[in-house]
Chains A and B, each alone.
Chain A
Amino acid sequence: MPWGEFKDTVAERRLFQRRAMVMLLLVFVLLGLLVARMYQLQVVEHDVYTTLSDKNRVQVQSVAPPRGLVYDRNDVLLAENRPVFSVTLVPERVGDMEQTLAKLQGMLSISEEDMERFHRRLLEPRRPFQELPLRYDLNEQEIARLAVHRHELPGVEVSAELVRYYPHSELTAHALGYVGRINRQELQRIDPVNYAGTNYIGKSGVERFYEELLHGRVGYQHVETNARGRTLRVLERENPVPGEDIRLHMDLRLQRLAHELLDGRRGAIIAIEPSTGGLLALASVPGFDANQFVTGIGVEAYRELSTSVDKPLFNRALRGQYPPGSTLKPMLAIAALDSDAVTRDKTIWDPGYYQLNSGGRRWRDWKRGGHGWVDLKEAVAESCDIYFYDAAVTMGVDTMHKYLSAFGFGEDATLDVAGALSGLLPSRDWKRAVHNEPWYPGDSVNLGIGQGFMLATPLQLATATSVIANRGNWAEPRLLKDIKGAESIDEVLPTGTHQSIELDNPDDWEFVVDTMAEVMHGSKGTARGAARGAPYRMAGKTGTAQVFSLAEDEEYEEEEIRERLRDHALFVGFAPVDDPQIAVAVIVENGGSGSGTAAPVARAIFDAWLLGFPGEGEAVVVGESGEASH
Chain B
Amino acid sequence: MSAGSLFDQPVRHPLSGSRGIWSFLHIDPVLLVLLLALISGGLVVLYSGADANIAVVKAQGIRMGVALIVMFVFAQLDPAVFRRWSPWLYIAGVAGLAAVLLVGVGAKGAQRWLDIPGLPRFQPSELMKLVVPMMTAWYLSRHYLPPRARHVGVALLIVLLPMAMIILQPDLGTSLLVGSAGIFVVFFAGISWRLIGAFFAMVSVAAPLMWFFVLREYQKQRVLTLLDPQSDPLGAGWNIIQSKTAIGSGGMDGKGWLQGTQSHLEFLPESHTDFIVAVLAEEFGFVGMLVLLVLYLLIILRCLYIAATAQDSFSRLLAGALTMTFFIYVFVNVGMVSGLLPVVGVPLPLVSYGGTSGVTLMAAFGVLMSVHTHRRMIGA
A45, B316: Cβ atoms closer than 8 Å? no
Q: Can you name the residue of chain B whose Cβ is closest to the Cβ of A3? A: B142
A57, B261: Cβ atoms closer than 8 Å? yes
B252, A43: Cβ atoms closer than 8 Å? yes
Nearest chain A CB to B172 CB, angstrom units: 20
Known A-B contacts: A21-B4, A27-B300, A35-B289. Give 19 more (CB < 8 A).
A2-B142, A7-B313, A15-B190, A16-B188, A16-B307, A16-B313, A17-B4, A19-B188, A20-B7, A20-B304, A23-B188, A23-B304, A27-B297, A38-B289, A42-B281, A45-B248, A56-B242, A56-B245, A227-B267
A23, B324: Cβ atoms closer than 8 Å? yes
Nearest chain B CB to A427 CB, angstrom units: 69
Q: Can you name the residue of chain B whose Cβ is closest to the Cβ of A8? A: B144
Contact with B along A6-35 (1 / 0, CB 8 A): 011100111111111101100100110111
Which of A4, A33, A41, A43 gathers most chain B CB within 10 Å? A41
B289, A16: Cβ atoms closer than 8 Å? no
A42, B289: Cβ atoms closer than 8 Å? yes
Q: List 17 A-B contacts (CB under 8 A).
A: A2-B144, A14-B4, A15-B146, A16-B316, A17-B7, A17-B308, A20-B188, A21-B4, A23-B304, A31-B296, A38-B247, A39-B286, A43-B251, A49-B245, A56-B267, A57-B265, A225-B265
Does residue B262 face the partner (Cβ distance < 8 Å to A)?
Answer: yes
CB-CB under 8 A from B246, the residues of chain A are 49, 53
Which of B4, B7, B301 gathers most chain A CB within 10 Å? B4
Contact partner of A20 (CB less than 8 A), chosen from B146, B293, B307, B338, is B307
Q: Can you name the residue of chain B whose Cβ is closest to the Cβ of A56? A: B267
Does residue B358 face the partner (Cβ distance < 8 Å to A)?
Answer: no
Does residue A52 face the partner (Cβ distance < 8 Å to B)?
Answer: yes
How many angstroms between the C-alpha atoms of A46 and B249 in the bound complex? 6
Q: Can you name the residue of chain B whose Cβ is closest to the Cβ of A34? A: B334
In residues 95-116 of chain A, which contact B (Cβ within 8 Å)? Answer: none
A34-B334, A41-B247, A46-B248 known; A228 vs B300 contact (CB < 8 Å): no
Does residue B340 face the partner (Cβ distance < 8 Å to A)?
Answer: yes
How many angstroms between the C-alpha atoms of A111 and B261 in the bound complex? 40
Number of interface residues of B (CB under 8 A): 56
A227, B265: Cβ atoms closer than 8 Å? yes
Contact with A along B4-37 (1 / 0, CB 8 A): 1011000000000000000000000000000000
In residues 172-231 of chain B, which contact A (Cβ within 8 Å)? Answer: 184, 187-188, 190
B327, A56: Cβ atoms closer than 8 Å? no
A35, B293: Cβ atoms closer than 8 Å? yes
B249, A49: Cβ atoms closer than 8 Å? yes
How many angstroms between the C-alpha atoms of A460 and B292 in the bound complex? 86
CB-CB under 8 A from A228, the residues of chain B are 266
Does residue A299 face the partner (Cβ distance < 8 Å to B)?
Answer: no
CB-CB under 8 A from A16, the residues of chain B are 188, 190, 307-308, 313, 316-317, 320
CB-CB under 8 A from A33, the residues of chain B are 340
Q: Can you name the residue of chain B whose Cβ is closest to the Cβ of A5? A: B378
CB-CB under 8 A from B281, the residues of chain A are 38, 41-42
How many angstroms between the C-alpha atoms of A17 and B281 in the bound complex? 34
Nearest chain A CB to B228 CB, angstrom units: 17
B142, A227: Cβ atoms closer than 8 Å? no
Nearest chain B CB to A5 CB, angstrom units: 9
Chain B residues touching A, majority SS? helix
How many angstroms between the C-alpha atoms of A8 and B145 in the bound complex? 9
Contact partner of A7 (CB less than 8 A), chosen from B144, B245, B261, B331, is B144
A46, B1: Cβ atoms closer than 8 Å? no
B286, A43: Cβ atoms closer than 8 Å? yes
Does residue A433 face the partner (Cβ distance < 8 Å to B)?
Answer: no
CB-CB under 8 A from B324, the residues of chain A are 23, 27
A38-B281, A38-B286, A53-B249 known; A27 vs B265 contact (CB < 8 Å): no
Contact with A along B284-305 (1 / 0, CB 8 A): 0110011001001100110010
Does residue A226 face the partner (Cβ distance < 8 Å to B)?
Answer: yes
B244, A49: Cβ atoms closer than 8 Å? yes
How many angstroms between the C-alpha atoms of A9 and B312 in the bound complex? 7
User: What 3 pairs between A and B have smallest CB-CB spacing?
Assistant: A49-B248, A53-B249, A17-B4
Q: Can you name the residue of chain B whose Cβ is closest to the Cβ of A4? A: B312
Residues on B lying within 8 angstroms of A by beta carbon are 1, 3-4, 6-7, 142-146, 184, 187-188, 190, 241-242, 244-252, 261-262, 265-267, 281, 285-286, 289-290, 293, 296-297, 300-301, 304, 307-308, 312-313, 316-317, 320, 324, 327, 331, 334-335, 338-340
Does residue A551 face the partner (Cβ distance < 8 Å to B)?
Answer: no
A18, B251: Cβ atoms closer than 8 Å? no
Nearest chain B CB to A625 CB, angstrom units: 77
How many angstroms between the C-alpha atoms of A7 and B142 in the bound complex? 10
Q: Can you name the residue of chain A whose Cβ is closest to the Cβ of B297? A: A31
CB-CB under 8 A from B267, the residues of chain A are 53, 56-57, 226-227
How many angstroms between the C-alpha atoms of A440 and B247 in the bound complex? 92
How many angstroms between the C-alpha atoms of A228 and B269 in the bound complex? 12
Does residue A232 face the partner (Cβ distance < 8 Å to B)?
Answer: yes
Q: Can you name the residue of chain B whose Cβ is closest to the Cβ of A7? A: B144
Residues on A lying within 8 angstroms of B by beta carbon are 1-4, 7-9, 12-21, 23-24, 27, 30-31, 33-35, 37-39, 41-43, 45-46, 48-50, 52-53, 56-57, 224-228, 232
Contact partner of A1 (CB less than 8 A), chosen from B7, B142, B146, is B142
CB-CB under 8 A from A24, the residues of chain B are 301, 304
Nearest chain B CB to A153 CB, angstrom units: 16
A34, B188: Cβ atoms closer than 8 Å? no
Nearest chain A CB to B189 CB, angstrom units: 8
CB-CB under 8 A from B247, the residues of chain A are 38, 41-42, 49
A20-B307, A23-B304, A56-B267 known; A41 vs B248 contact (CB < 8 Å): yes
Q: Can you name the residue of chain B whose Cβ is closest to the Cβ of A51? A: B249
How many angstroms between the C-alpha atoms of A3 and B301 in the bound complex? 28
CB-CB under 8 A from B142, the residues of chain A are 1-3
B144, A232: Cβ atoms closer than 8 Å? no
B327, A42: Cβ atoms closer than 8 Å? no
A19-B320, A227-B265 known; A41 vs B338 contact (CB < 8 Å): yes
A13, B316: Cβ atoms closer than 8 Å? yes
A18, B289: Cβ atoms closer than 8 Å? no
B338, A18: Cβ atoms closer than 8 Å? no
A30-B331, A53-B261 known; A12 vs B320 contact (CB < 8 Å): no
A35, B290: Cβ atoms closer than 8 Å? yes
A37, B340: Cβ atoms closer than 8 Å? yes
Q: Can you name the residue of chain B whose Cβ is closest to the Cβ of A49? A: B248
A14, B1: Cβ atoms closer than 8 Å? yes
Nearest chain B CB to A95 CB, angstrom units: 11
Nearest chain B CB to A202 CB, angstrom units: 39
A56, B300: Cβ atoms closer than 8 Å? no
Which of A15, A34, A224 gathers most chain B CB within 10 Å? A34
Nearest chain A CB to B193 CB, angstrom units: 10
CB-CB under 8 A from B334, the residues of chain A are 34
Nearest chain B CB to A49 CB, angstrom units: 3
How many angstroms between the C-alpha atoms of A226 and B261 in the bound complex? 9
CB-CB under 8 A from A226, the residues of chain B are 265-267
How many angstroms between the C-alpha atoms of A247 and B316 in the bound complex? 94
Nearest chain A CB to B250 CB, angstrom units: 6
How many angstroms between the C-alpha atoms of A509 and B267 in the bound complex? 81
A21-B3, A52-B248 known; A232 vs B308 contact (CB < 8 Å): no
CB-CB under 8 A from A7, the residues of chain B are 144-145, 313
Contact partner of A42 (CB less than 8 A), chosen from B187, B241, B286, is B286
Nearest chain B CB to A223 CB, angstrom units: 12
CB-CB under 8 A from B293, the residues of chain A are 31, 34-35
Q: Can you name the residue of chain A whose Cβ is closest to the Cβ of B4? A: A17
How many angstroms between the C-alpha atoms of A24 and B4 in the bound complex? 12
